Amino acid sequence: MIRLALELVLALFTVCGLAFYLIALWSAHLFRRMTGMGGSSAFSPPVSILKPLKDIDDQTYAALRSHCVQEYGSYEIIFGVNDGSDPAIPLVQRLASEFPHADIRLVVCSEIFGANRKASNLVQMLREAKHECILVNDGDIKVSSYYLQSVMSHFEHPTVGMVTCLYRARPSRTLGSRLEALGIATDFAPGVLTASYLEEGLHFALGSTLAMSRVALEKIGGFMAVVDYIADDYQLGQRISAAGFKMELASEVVETFVPAYTFGQFWQHQLRWARTMRDSRPGGYRGLFLTYALPWAILLAIIAPHLWWAWALLVAAASARIAVALSVGWATLHDKHVLRDLWLLPWRDVLALAIWIWSYADDTVIWRGEQFRLEKGRMRAVSTESDTAATPAIGQTGSGAQRR
């Protein structure tokens, strides 16, 4: 009886996951149809780009430079660092020299208002912004030359308070980096599109792009409202949506770079991201276990290899999972690495389920080398000197969009 009950439960979980895959496929189809209906409008309000920086890697300059070659009217770029010795400063100076006619400024943000240093920096950077539209994205985000036009044209409608973007990841050669990039393209992005479809619009935002009107930002209390939250991007979007403004997902897909994570660093990073989502969207996060059709189908086939329908469910789950990966990762995000790493998908999904389970074991996360305890989205520092020394900071350029 226990074995039969387990088989039926696993079958039910698999069927629920298949339903999620089908909704994800439909959501991706609707997004592509919507974005393919025509180009962005000519509306192009002046915008202040705020780019908080911390440390650099060999991809940082190309990412920052992509914001200086926009086919757009009036915009300024304000870079912010925590201290005057940050290695990102020479890159900003190089950009100012390469683009002498661009409005580029650097702000050293010495004040600390909360546990989230990025949000504290944004408070100080906003003081220097002169336009009524504000755009924030992470330091590792690389964009096309039409990025600003694609995003800012949405503000032609006065009800729009924030615009955000999907993104793809360019991995390094390590297994951990490739697993994370694959998860962004085949798990995270489908989840965003599905949430937008089921909830009749987005009610949160992604750190890859946070474009907002100053009116909407001021109505929620500005960046000061999120200085103690690890998921500042989610909080800003959720609060602007709750304030009555419309959230929109632009057609533009930006690009980020995933560092050369070891497997341990990949696990730590994914666990931090999982616990952040669990704390930010507890209801939706609890339901995630019903979206892992492939791992449940694999487990069912292992414990019941004699059942023909167990193998039928496994084939159906694998086929639907590949379809989602291709529809979202390849056709929607135009991520060329998805095809190469498709064979890693079952391993990545099994690890994702394990991380989901383990995320409930504790409330602590490691962020930028420090240990924090999450309390209803807020961060409380609990690290000791030995903790910090034992856990090196990784991927510190910007805050890392989905990679949070």
Higher pLDDT among residues 261 and 391, named by residue: 261
- Identify the bridge partners of residue 371 per DSSP, sorted by sequence position: 366
Q: What's the rounded Cα separation, in Å, for the pair 211 and 209?
A: 6
Q: State the pLDDT at residue 202.
A: 92
Task: Report the CATH number that the domain containing residue 214 is assigned in CATH.
Answer: 3.90.550.10
Model confidence at 388: pLDDT above 50: no
pTM for this model (two decimals): 0.89
DSSP letters, 143-156, are --TTHHHHHHGGGG
> Which tens digits make up the pLDDT trace of 298-308?
999 999 999 99
Contact between 292 and 205 under an 8 Å Cβ cutoff? The reply is: no
Confidence of residue 161 (pLDDT cuts 50, 70, 90): very high
Give how many domains the chain has, as a whole number.
Answer: 1
Model confidence at 75: pLDDT above 60: yes
The region that residue 334 occupies, defined by phi over 0 for left and psi between -120 and 50 for alpha, beta otherwise, is: left
Which residues are CB-neighbours of 96 under 8 A, at least 6 positions away? 102, 104, 106
Q: How many helices, marked H, and strands, marked E, lie in the chain?
A: 16, 10
Confidence of residue 63 (pLDDT cuts 50, 70, 90): very high
Q: State the pLDDT at residue 39.
A: 59
Nearest Cα residue to 47 out of 68, 79, 73, 80: 73
- Identify the bridge partners of residue 164 per DSSP, sorted by sequence position: 249
**Strand 47-52 relative to strand 75-81, pairing:** parallel
Model confidence at 393: pLDDT above 70: no
Residue type for 30, please?
A: L
Question: Which residues form the domain of 86?
Answer: 1-404
Instruction: Give me the count of residues in the chain.
Output: 404
Q: State the pLDDT at residue 37.
A: 65
